[in-house]
Chain A
Amino acid sequence: MELIADALTVVGRLRSVGAGLAPGHVTMICGPNGAGKSTLLSALAGLTVPDGGQVRLGENRLADISGRERAMAIGYLPQAGDVAWNVTVETLVRLGRLPHRTSDRVDAAATVAALTALDLVPLATREVGTLSGGERARALLARVLAGQPRWILADEPLAALDLAHQQALLAHLHRLAGQGVGVVVVVHDLALAMNHADHVVVLDRGSVAAAGAPHVALAEDVVARVWGVKASWVGDGRSQALAIG
């Protein structure tokens, strides 16, 4: 089921943004600060009501789907991951089951699966307040996974992670995509998008500046035009880095 942004307009943020996102892929949204990345993501999640245009999930308009159904279909991870109460990791992850109203056993199984997927089983009984930034980011993502959504929209989930955990998380996102889940991630690191995305959408001042495969959407002329930085991609076919100047 595709997630489609059709001429999305949010006054002051997005101008007629169109994007068709296919399930089973990892899509990364890039752009300079203030380009509208987070707004686009929250509109795709149905949390920002667009002033114009619409978001469609398959055949349905997202606005017509009930809040609970939408919550079960689309998992959303916001950028600021503050947790109000010092709950344990397991309790936190289990909050992702809230829209499902399934039995205790089903919830517990989904929670354990999410904890396992992100290597969090040894931390399950730890309180959130005692976690490192990276552990906390993983726990928050596990909360989204526990809901077993068909779409995962995450706002900069990699920013707080060290290199090893970034790679582990990316591998997991790709594994999910392999299972048919649609993954949409906002990232700042262009090299990361270049090397790990299936599809890239570049936003600039509220409009789509480029979209497509990473080497097309993040070509050197796009980087120069959107970010105003003269840079060139260096590296072999497996992994590339951005050399400035």
Chain B
Amino acid sequence: MSRAFLPSLVLGAALLLVFPLCLLAGQVWIDPFHATGPNALVILAQLRLPRAVLAVVVGAGLGASGAAMQGYLRNPLADPGLFGVAPLAALGAVLSLFFGFAAQPYLLPTMALAGAAGGMVLLAVIASGPRAGLAGGVALFTLTGMMLSSLAGALTSLAISVAPNPFALTEIVTWLMGALADRSWHDVAIAAPLTLAGLAVLWRAGPSLDALTLGELAARSLGLEPGRLRLLMVLGVGLVVGAGVSAAGIIGFVGLMVPHFVRPFTDRRPSSLLLPSALAGALLLLLADTVCRLLPLAGGELRLGIALSLLGAPFFLHLLLRLRRGLS
């Protein structure tokens, strides 16, 4: 049993080590061994600490939900984005920027969460026909997610094209790129509890995901209830992704990549991937965000969402090529 927790222990220790170091790094480097002025304290407590906590929270959610999705769809190329919850959450946020609501700190996340909740309800209603088998259910689910994604994408584009003023336009476009810059404790207060709730839900899905390793029929013979698992997945992934998007915008590829890094160090059961994937996702996002903050870039900093896509797209291609070799 101790061996099963080894990857989580190592990743947890690494996270504890990296976290304070990331707090010190930035445009203003903070020297922990010398007397620091009040400025440094403000930077730490009001700027870097909430940002780092948010990176950990969002990264953990994306990592764990990626592991859960791959287990649920029995496919190593699956990603939490497949449910279409993220684009709907983004649509909610975009609408709040469109109407200029963003002045209030709580409105943008609230509307993003409303978008995510709407997506979850639609998914649950459309994809849970009575007596729908799991296999049919999964296909229906993924297709419903795709439909919701493209609908949300179209509406987002519409909002951009008829934006009332250039400020709203810039705000929307910038926000959509996904970032953790200038986030406050308000964002942490919204995202952290929802992500934790989502992670708890996904944790409960663990044994059912393990059973699915054997295929739907064998899994059902082991007592898996497809309807219950579907509900857990919609709720868990929806909460985690909705909270993540409301805090950081759309950040892709974390949920896809992280389980792959972690899998070889576990016994490969989906449930043993959940905790280490959460920790590795947190670590990845924390490091990536720190690197973004440090990279010298004219006109601001590299957006986290862009950085991870630049990292993730080649990784996805590499995976595809490896899978193709495995098949042939």
Known A-B contacts A49-B131, A68-B223; the reply to A78 vs B218 at CB < 8 A is yes
B223:A70 contact, CB within 8 angstroms = yes
B267:A42 contact, CB within 8 angstroms = no
Give the dominant DSSP class at B's interface: loop
Known A-B contacts A45-B221, A91-B268, A91-B269; the reply to A98 vs B210 at CB < 8 A is yes
A98:B223 contact, CB within 8 angstroms = yes
Best-buried of A67, A70, A88 by chain B (most CB within 10 Å): A67
A99:B268 contact, CB within 8 angstroms = no
**Contact string, B190-223, partner A, CB cutoff 8 A, digits 1/0?**
0000000000000000010011111101101111
Known A-B contacts A84-B74, A87-B267, A104-B1; the reply to A76 vs B217 at CB < 8 A is yes
Q: Is A161 an interface residue (CB 8 A)?
A: no
Q: How far is the CA of A45 from the CA of B217 in the complex (A)?
A: 10
CB-defined contacts of A46 to chain B, threshold 8 Å = 221
Q: Is B225 an interface residue (CB 8 A)?
A: yes
- Closest B residue, CB atoms, query A46: B221
B217:A42 contact, CB within 8 angstroms = yes
A87:B268 contact, CB within 8 angstroms = yes
A85:B268 contact, CB within 8 angstroms = yes
Partner of A85, one of B1, B211, B224, B269: B269
Q: How far is the CA of A86 from the CA of B264 in the complex (A)?
A: 10
CB-defined contacts of B210 to chain A, threshold 8 Å = 95, 98
Q: How far is the CA of A93 from the CA of B217 in the complex (A)?
A: 16
CB-defined contacts of A92 to chain B, threshold 8 Å = 213-214
Residues of A within 8 Å of B, CB-based: how many? 33
Q: How far is the CA of A126 from the CA of B223 in the complex (A)?
A: 27
Chain A, 11-50, CB within 8 A of any chain B CB: 42, 45-47, 49
Q: Is A136 an interface residue (CB 8 A)?
A: no
Q: Is A157 an interface residue (CB 8 A)?
A: no
- Closest B residue, CB atoms, query A108: B1
B269:A87 contact, CB within 8 angstroms = yes
- Closest B residue, CB atoms, query A153: B221
Q: Nearest-CB distance from A66 to chain B (Å)?
A: 8
Q: How far is the CA of A218 from the CA of B207 in the complex (A)?
A: 43
Known A-B contacts A98-B223, A99-B223; the reply to A77 vs B211 at CB < 8 A is no
- Closest A residue, CB atoms, query B224: A67
Known A-B contacts A98-B207, A98-B223, A104-B1; the reply to A85 vs B270 at CB < 8 A is yes
Partner of A76, one of B75, B218, B267: B218
Chain A, 94-132, CB within 8 A of any chain B CB: 95-96, 98-99, 104
Q: Is A164 an interface residue (CB 8 A)?
A: no
Q: Is A80 an interface residue (CB 8 A)?
A: yes
Which A residues fall within an 8 A CB radius of B? 42, 45-47, 49, 67-68, 70-71, 74-78, 80-88, 91-92, 95-96, 98-99, 104, 140, 143, 147
Q: Which 5 A-B residue pairs are closest in the complex by CB-CB distance?
A: A76-B221, A71-B223, A84-B74, A78-B217, A67-B223
| 15 additional A-B residue pairs with CB within 8 Å, beyond A75-B221, A84-B74, A85-B213 | A49-B131, A70-B223, A71-B221, A71-B223, A76-B221, A84-B213, A91-B268, A91-B269, A95-B214, A95-B269, A98-B207, A98-B211, A98-B223, A99-B223, A140-B214
User: What are 19 A-B contacts with C-beta separation under 8 Å?
Assistant: A68-B223, A71-B221, A74-B221, A76-B217, A78-B217, A78-B221, A80-B215, A84-B71, A84-B75, A85-B268, A85-B269, A85-B270, A87-B269, A91-B269, A92-B214, A98-B207, A104-B1, A143-B218, A147-B222
